[in-house]
């Protein structure tokens, strides 16, 4: 305790602002707090099964009791800090302060609040470090590619093998329209290429986007009906691919970290293996898949001996039997409300289609996609900008309330809050009236809501500045200055949005270039910068107001 007292005495004599805000102790306490949450993150997972439990790494924080520990520690820390911070007030007691002393105090206030509520960042760094130390992304990435390559033979849903999923060779991929010959509904253009198969007419095509664009430019209400937007392709050579076949498969089983080049290589591998019709190569692919299933602890009972006859059906490789997605012995009954969609579909397909499910073979991936996603994002973390932006907005809002109380009085703060509520009610009433008037007069879209907020926030800021210049009553000037602090970011935000809408109206489809595109990327920081500038001027003007004699 003597050591703490000695440090506090030194800070009071040499750095009174740091002493008053308890900055040193808050940094030390929050350093230990962040270190604790870093450790919690590091020890949140230990093996592969742990990484399969949650959809994302952030869920290990938000879906567990750790988030409540964070709330408890943050609230307790800030409450104790507030007791000491509000105990002394050099500004209200007319101590000599530098011109920017209040602004420095506000910056320290924001820093203290920010580091006291962002333990999640340390937790996320801890768990990401543990994942990177436990699993090698290059190895996992190679295995994902192998899974995607060999998954063509793991036939678990006939929908993945229908011809509308076909991606090779050219001109595929194509859209398909079909109609029953005995009960025709106009779905195809019989004046262009089509073929008949098993009592149905089929027509394959691509959408003519150039035609649609030209039509929309020439016609106000756009294109609908007819077949003029189709570029029909003659694919009668592939008519036997209508029945589900391996030749149609193009699904990417796991997409984490995979790009278009990886997908192209996957399809090339599928095409090569099937075109060569070499049972030995197919057998090797099955062995590779089984090796991966065992490596990643996937629940299955597939073997090469039972599996190979199901898929080695050259040259068309039509599906004969599907493999269950769950263990048939553990499958819930059909009317169980906990049955998954896949379970219900399997039971329907078993009795309702020509492609039955195997009596015993199954492969249950469970939550393997969670594992791959968590490893990928440990090495390639998502941007924390959204989280930081939210926390900064939260910290500025409540920190500014505390700062206003620190520089004015409880009476002024309460009157400012009441004035804000009244102002909000007036704005809402004005907007409702304007919307009603516009709807009554015409049916056009309007930016009057933006204009209303812009005008009112601007008037509040001008009135606040005028109260200083023309020396209005202290209480009125104080209330207006408090309102202006919150009106400033609203003015910049809605003024920017209004300007963006104007550019959209002027430039049409090219509006994203220039200011609009820049604002979408940097708008938050523009608003925050304007807000900080307003706070800086408030800190200067509030000193002058405090120096005036009482009314």
pLDDT digits (tens, 9 = 90+) for 98-126: 678 888 999 999 999 999 999 999 999 99
What is the per-residue pLDDT for 344? 41
The C-alpha atoms of residue 147 and residue 144 are separated, in whole angstroms, by 5
Give the pLDDT band of residue 12 (cuts 50, 70, 90).
Answer: confident
Query: In the predicted model, what is the mean pLDDT of the chain?
Result: 85
Q: At what angle do helices 260-276 and 137-150 cross, to 10 degrees?
A: 40
pLDDT exceeds cutoff 50 at 440 = no
What does the DSSP assignment read for 507-531?
A: HGGGTTTTHHHHHHHHHHHHHHHHH
Give the pLDDT band of residue 516 (cuts 50, 70, 90).
Answer: confident
Token pair listed for 524 = 């938050």
Give the pLDDT band of residue 88 (cuts 50, 70, 90).
Answer: confident
Residue range 218-246: mean pLDDT, rounded: 81
156 sits in which H/E element: none
What pTM does this model have? 0.82
Other Cβ atoms less than 10 A from the Cβ of 237: the count is 8
27 versus 20: the higher-pLDDT residue is 27
CA-only gyration radius of the chain, Å: 33
pLDDT exceeds cutoff 70 at 512 = no
Token pair listed for 172 = 């595929």
Q: β-strands 200-207, 195-197: how paired?
A: antiparallel
Q: What is the pLDDT of residues 355-382, one digit of tens each?
A: 899 988 999 999 999 999 999 999 999 8
pLDDT exceeds cutoff 60 at 441 = no
Q: Among 315, 346, 309, which residue's Cα sits nearest to residue 328?
A: 346
Q: What is the pLDDT of residues 31-68, one digit of tens each?
A: 999 999 999 999 999 999 999 999 999 999 999 999 99
Cβ–Cβ under 8 Å, residues 366 and 298:
yes
Cβ–Cβ under 8 Å, residues 205 and 287:
no
Give the pLDDT band of residue 349 (cuts 50, 70, 90).
Answer: very low
Residue range 207-226: mean pLDDT, rounded: 69
pLDDT exceeds cutoff 80 at 95 = no
| Greatest mean pLDDT among 160-174, 183-197, 514-528 | 160-174
Token pair listed for 43 = 């020890």
What is the per-residue pLDDT for 424? 73
Q: Percent of the chain, pLDDT > 90?
A: 52
pLDDT exceeds cutoff 80 at 172 = yes
Residue range 462-469: mean pLDDT, rounded: 86
Name, in order, each residue with C-beta under 8 angstroms of 432's C-beta and a sequence gap of 6 or more: none
Q: What is the pLDDT of residues 307-345, one digit of tens each?
A: 999 999 999 999 989 999 999 887 554 444 334 444 444
Other Cβ atoms less than 10 A from the Cβ of 293: the count is 20
């Amino acid at each position: 305790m003597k050591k703490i007292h000695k440090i506090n005495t030194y800070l009071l004599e040499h750095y009174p602002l740091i002493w008053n805000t308890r900055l040193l102790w808050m940094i030390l306490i929050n350093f230990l707090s962040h270190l604790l949450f870093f450790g919690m993150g590091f020890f949140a997972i230990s093996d592969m099964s742990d990484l399969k439990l949650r959809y994302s790494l952030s869920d290990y924080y938000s879906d567990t009791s750790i988030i409540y520990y964070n709330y408890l520690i943050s609230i307790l820390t800030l409450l104790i800090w507030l007791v000491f911070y509000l105990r002394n007030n050099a500004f209200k007691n007319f101590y000599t302060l530098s011109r920017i002393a209040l602004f420095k105090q506000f910056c320290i206030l924001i820093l203290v609040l920010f580091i006291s509520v962002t333990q999640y960042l340390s937790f996320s760094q801890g768990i990401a470090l543990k994942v990177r130390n436990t699993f090698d992304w290059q190895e996992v990435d190679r295995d994902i590619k192998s899974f995607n390559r060999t998954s063509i033979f793991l036939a678990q849903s006939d929908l993945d093998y229908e011809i509308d999923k076909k991606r090779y060779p050219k001109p595929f991929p194509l859209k398909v329209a079909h109609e029953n010959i005995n009960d025709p509904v106009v779905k195809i253009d019989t004046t262009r290429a089509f073929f008949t198969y098993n009592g149905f007419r089929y027509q394959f095509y691509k959408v003519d986007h150039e035609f649609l664009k030209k039509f929309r430019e020439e016609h106000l209400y756009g294109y609908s009906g007819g077949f003029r937007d189709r570029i029909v392709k003659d694919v009668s050579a592939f008519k036997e691919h209508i029945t589900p076949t391996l030749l149609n498969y193009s699904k990417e089983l796991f997409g984490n970290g995979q790009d278009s080049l990886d997908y192209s290589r996957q399809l090339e591998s599928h095409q090569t293996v099937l075109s060569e019709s070499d049972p030995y190569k197919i057998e090797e692919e099955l062995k590779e898949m089984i090796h991966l299933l065992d490596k990643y602890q996937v629940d299955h009972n597939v073997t090469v001996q039972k599996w190979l006859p199901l898929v080695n059906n050259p040259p068309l490789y039509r599906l004969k039997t599907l493999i269950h997605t769950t263990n048939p012995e553990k499958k819930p009954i059909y009317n169980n409300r906990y049955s998954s969609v896949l379970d219900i579909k399997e039971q329907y397909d078993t009795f309702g289609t020509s492609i039955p499910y195997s009596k015993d073979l199954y492969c249950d991936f469970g939550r393997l996609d969670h594992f791959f996603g968590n490893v990928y994002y440990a090495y390639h973390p998502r941007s924390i900008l959204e989280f930081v932006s939210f926390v900064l907005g939260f910290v500025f809002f409540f920190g500014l309330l505390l700062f206003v109380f620190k520089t004015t009085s409880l009476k002024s703060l309460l009157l400012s809050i009441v004035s804000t509520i009244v102002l909000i009610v007036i704005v809402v009433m004005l907007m409702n009236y304007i919307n009603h008037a516009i709807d009554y007069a015409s049916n056009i879209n309007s930016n009057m809501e933006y204009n209303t907020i812009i005008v009112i926030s601007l008037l509040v800021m001008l009135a606040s500045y005028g109260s200083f210049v023309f020396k209005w009553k202290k209480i009125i000037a104080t209330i207006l200055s408090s309102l202006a602090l919150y009106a400033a970011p609203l003015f910049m935000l809605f003024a920017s949005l209004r300007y963006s809408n104007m550019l959209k109206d002027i430039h049409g489809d090219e509006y994203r270039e220039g200011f609009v595109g820049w604002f979408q990327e940097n708008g938050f920081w523009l608003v925050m910068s304007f807000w900080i500038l307003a706070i800086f001027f408030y800190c200067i003007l509030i000193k002058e107001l405090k120096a005036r004699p009482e009314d």
